């Protein structure tokens, strides 16, 4: 299989979120078939959904992989589980130790019951776009939208880079 550049969204708002992200990045970098190419700055953001939870720390990682999209997704789930994440189909936008989302898998468009790439919310989430812009500021999404145009359409005043 041909190697692909992928972008993975990372988020945490339980426990030591910064340490959770650093640990997840290290585990991703050590995964078979995955080569870490870069990591954005870390940003704090308000949670999506219920506001009665801690703020999130978010980032985006760029990886080079020869894994299929579904195999990469499974590798992300392994990392999440190692950090105590339990995916509960009934709980949406709740607090979590770690959330990993496959944002982009090359220029592929994938729509299966268990995986949608590009991530369906990518263009409407400043906590994804701003870190992604750190790594790929001129990125054009598979549907032709430019990352910078999507970013300009969103308020980013609730995002703060961590020093």
Residue tagged active-site, from 37, 81, 92, 96? 96
Instruction: Answer yes or no: 81 catalytic.
Output: no
- Whole-number Cα distances in Å, 67 to 30, 84, 141, 153: 14, 24, 21, 33
Instruction: Answer yes or no: 96 catalytic.
Output: yes
Q: What are the backbone angles phi and psi of residue 4, rounded to the nearest 5°?
A: -135, 145
Instruction: Answer yes or no: 88 catalytic.
Output: no
Residue tagged active-site, from 16, 41, 99, 139? 99
Helix, strand, or coil (residue 45): strand
- Whole-number Cα distances in Å, 59 to 48, 77, 143: 15, 17, 23
Residue tagged active-site, from 16, 41, 85, 107? 85
Q: How long is the chain?
A: 163
Residue tagged active-site, from 66, 101, 107, 125? 101
Helix, strand, or coil (residue 163): coil
DSSP string, 52-85: SSPPEEEEEEEEEE-S-HHHHHHHHHHHHHHTT-
Which active-site residues does the annotation give? 85, 96, 99, 101
């Amino acid at each position: 299989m041909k190697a692909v550049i992928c972008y993975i969204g990372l988020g945490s708002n339980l426990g030591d979120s910064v340490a959770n992200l650093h640990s997840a990045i290290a585990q991703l970098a050590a995964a078979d078939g995955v080569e870490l190419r870069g990591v954005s700055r870390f940003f704090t953001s308000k949670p999506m959904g219920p506001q009665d939870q801690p703020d999130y720390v978010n980032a985006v990682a760029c990886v080079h992989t020869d894994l299929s999209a579904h195999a990469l997704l499974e590798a992300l789930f392994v990392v999440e589980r190692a950090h105590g994440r339990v995916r509960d189909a009934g709980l949406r936008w709740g607090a979590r130790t770690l959330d990993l989302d496959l944002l982009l898998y090359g220029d592929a468009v994938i729509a299966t019951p268990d995986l949608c790439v590009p991530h369906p919310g990518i263009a409407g989430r400043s906590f994804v776009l701003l870190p992604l812009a750190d790594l790929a500021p001129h990125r054009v999404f598979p549907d032709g939208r430019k990352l910078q145009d999507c970013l300009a359409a969103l308020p980013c005043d609730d995002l703060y880079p961590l020093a």
